[in-house]
Amino acid sequence: QANKKGYPHFMLKEIHEQPEVVNKGIARYMKDSQIYFGEEFEKIDFSKIDNIVIVACGTAYHAGLQGAYFLKKLAGIKVDVEVASEFRYSDPFINEKTLAIFISQSGETLDTLMAMKLSKELGATTLAITNVLGSTISREADIVLYTMAGPEISVASTKAYTAQVALMYMFAMYMGIKNKKISIEEYNEYMRTIAEFSDRIEVALENKEKIHELAKKIKDCRNGFYIGRGIDEKIAREGSLKMKEITYIHSEAIAAGELKHGTIALIEPGTLVVVVATQKDMIEKMVSNIKEIKARGGYVIAITKENYSQVLEVADETIFIEDINDMLAPLLTVMPLQLLAYYTAVEKGLDVDKPRNLAKSVTVE
């Protein structure tokens, strides 16, 4: 029985469940302090796999983008990420050396299912990452990993996304060790950080009041842009999607470096730009981007780490997350992005849990 447990909306309840969801998700695939995905998974012949393709839709696609980033960085594997609805028409380079991963909260999205069927025909090993036990995608896949996020009622996905990202992160570490791309010391360090993660998510959610105030300021915006670099660009896409899904504010996410190739023409006094800037190597470039936006009168809400005071100096509003390993920052950054979309929809008086024209699970192509 779905119950809001005292929260005004399922979305807010599900946002608050994220610390526990991450804990549970990690615990499910740990054995003797090591990552263990189970007997079936161990049967995958990784010696024959030389490439990975990740296929998904919507928010799950964004989790796939994060996953690909982790896999490339931590495991040195060639990874492509495809939107499921495009996959069949893209003449995919798939064969028996491919591990094809399908991410789907519901396990019922038809585009994702059809992409899985094609991958099987082409000889790939198929791995489903899903939240719903016994779902069609879980039954069709060679191997299944479950995100263990519990039922997600709000159409806009929050906790399922975070669980998908955490699982992709574990998978990348698993592959990193297998491929000898990360050392045992690095692995242990990552595992220590991830073990404490739920507390850090709790802290990130404490910004709630401040974000609610920001939502009041932006609720009448008609357009907004989300920018970031590297992994922040991927999380910017998810923040933008959340905003457009439930507030109907037109919003677009772009790589910050692309700003000067078009989008900057649209920045005028008051234009909302949400800047995600958590990556050490890119922080100076992000500060330059903020200055460019400010020079044209844009209104900048920045999400950054608590030690990057240079961002605070240039942005209109700054939301901080804890100073954490760059690679793990997205698991914290997504919290304020979800809350910003949520409170903006609340301030606009919209039906947060059931936005117009959207379905929780799309079973048509």
- Binding positions for ligand G6P, rule: CB under 6 A: 57-60, 104-106, 109, 112, 155-157, 358, 360-362
Residue 5 C-beta: closest distance to ligand G6P, Å: 21
| Residue 18 or 59 with smaller CB distance to ligand G6P | 59
| Residue 62 or 181 with smaller CB distance to ligand G6P | 62
Residue 130 C-beta: closest distance to ligand G6P, Å: 8
Residue 311 C-beta: closest distance to ligand G6P, Å: 30
Question: Which residue has its beta carbon closest to ligand G6P?
Answer: 58
Residue 156 C-beta: closest distance to ligand G6P, Å: 6
Give CA–CA dist 176/180, Å, rounded. Answer: 6
| Residue 167 or 314 with smaller CB distance to ligand G6P | 167
| Residue 58 or 298 with smaller CB distance to ligand G6P | 58
| Active site positions, annotated | 360
